[in-house]
A = this chain, B = another copy of it.
Amino acid sequence: MKLAVIGVGLIGGSFALALKKAKAVSHVVGVGRGAANLKLAQERGIIDSIAKDPGDADVVLVAAPVGQYPAIFKSLQGSKAIITDAGSTKRDVVALGRDLPRFVPGHPIAGAEKSGAAAASADLFRDRRVVLTPLKESEDVAKVRKLWEACGARVSSMTAEEHDEVLAAVSHLPHLLAFGLVHDIAKRKNSEQLFSFAAGGFRDFTRIASSHPEMWRDICVANKDLLLSELAKFSGKMEELRKLLEHGDGPGLEKLFAEARHARDQWLKSSS
């Protein structure tokens, strides 16, 4: 099996490394804009060759920023390969790729603040979720599912709409809140003092505010309707908290906090 990876960064590089480790692929060709990054990927054994296009690859993973998809998908018109991708939003990607006959849209839910081939790891997807949002069931979908499973991932299928709804709630909104909180504090006159007394809780809460601005711009714009809806729901919850605070309602606050802690602890138990 010959694999082409367009965009040999953290995700694309880790996919190649994991499939090599699982002996599920015989040759990986790297395609991308960054010559230095591709060279590093070859030196690290992530890819076996560098090319301008996927050539005769059996499977192509598009792991570039979604902003580059229109040009990439245009160049893949007429390709006979199975084409899959790793974009974080799916309704827009499905719309962009609907003319590709063998396209299986996907999203590995395994990001990190790190990026580039230097950060790629064969174990990045172990026990992580991968969501496929196929336009229809097919042998190609089964094939892509098997590749992700060979990487150690847990693969689910859902519609692109469902995917974007779920991710708006548990990923896109938290990123927006973290970026917003750090920005709010950074713009204060006493920001230096504020940061200097921030501790481990603040560091973890804002970890995702160190994520890639360009990537998150694209995600927010692509998913803006569902993200606006999540933001409205969250504002409602903040209003609920504001009222409890304003009334000094200790029991009400404690109940809400205890319910949240219980839900989180149950989640951690069930996901470990």
**Residue among B235, B253, B263 making CB contact with A186, cutoff 8 Å:** B263
Do residues A260 and B166 form an inter-chain contact, with CB atoms below 8 A? Answer: no
Stretch of A29-37, A73-81, A92-100, A238-246 at the chain-chain interface: A238-246
What residues of B have a CB within 8 angstroms of the CB of A119 in the complex? none
Roughly how many angstroms separate A244 CA and B246 CA in the complex, as a whole number?
A: 29
Roughly how many angstroms separate A217 CA and B259 CA in the complex, as a whole number?
A: 13
Stretch of A5-13, A19-27, A226-234 at the chain-chain interface: A226-234
**Residue among B170, B181, B185, B254 making CB contact with A197, cutoff 8 Å:** B170
Residue A121 lies at the interface, judged by CB distance under 8 Å to chain B:
no
Per DSSP, chain A at the interface is helix
Roughly how many angstroms separate A227 CA and B208 CA in the complex, as a whole number?
A: 23
Integer count of this chain's copies in the complex: 2
What residues of B have a CB within 8 angstroms of the CB of A111 in the complex? 199, 201
Do residues A228 and B206 form an inter-chain contact, with CB atoms below 8 A? Answer: no
Residue count of chain A within 8 Å CB distance of chain B: 89
Do residues B265 and A180 form an inter-chain contact, with CB atoms below 8 A? Answer: no
Do residues A264 and B169 form an inter-chain contact, with CB atoms below 8 A? Answer: no
Do residues B177 and A210 form an inter-chain contact, with CB atoms below 8 A? Answer: no
What residues of B have a CB within 8 angstroms of the CB of A178 in the complex? 205, 260
Per-residue 0/1 for A241-272: is the Cβ within 8 Å of any B Cβ (1 yes, 0 no)?
11001101011011111111101110110110
B-binding residues in A (CB < 8 A): 109-112, 128-129, 131, 156, 166-167, 169-171, 173-186, 188, 190-191, 193-211, 213-214, 216-218, 220-221, 224, 227-228, 231, 233-235, 237-238, 240-242, 245-246, 248, 250-251, 253-261, 263-265, 267-268, 270-271
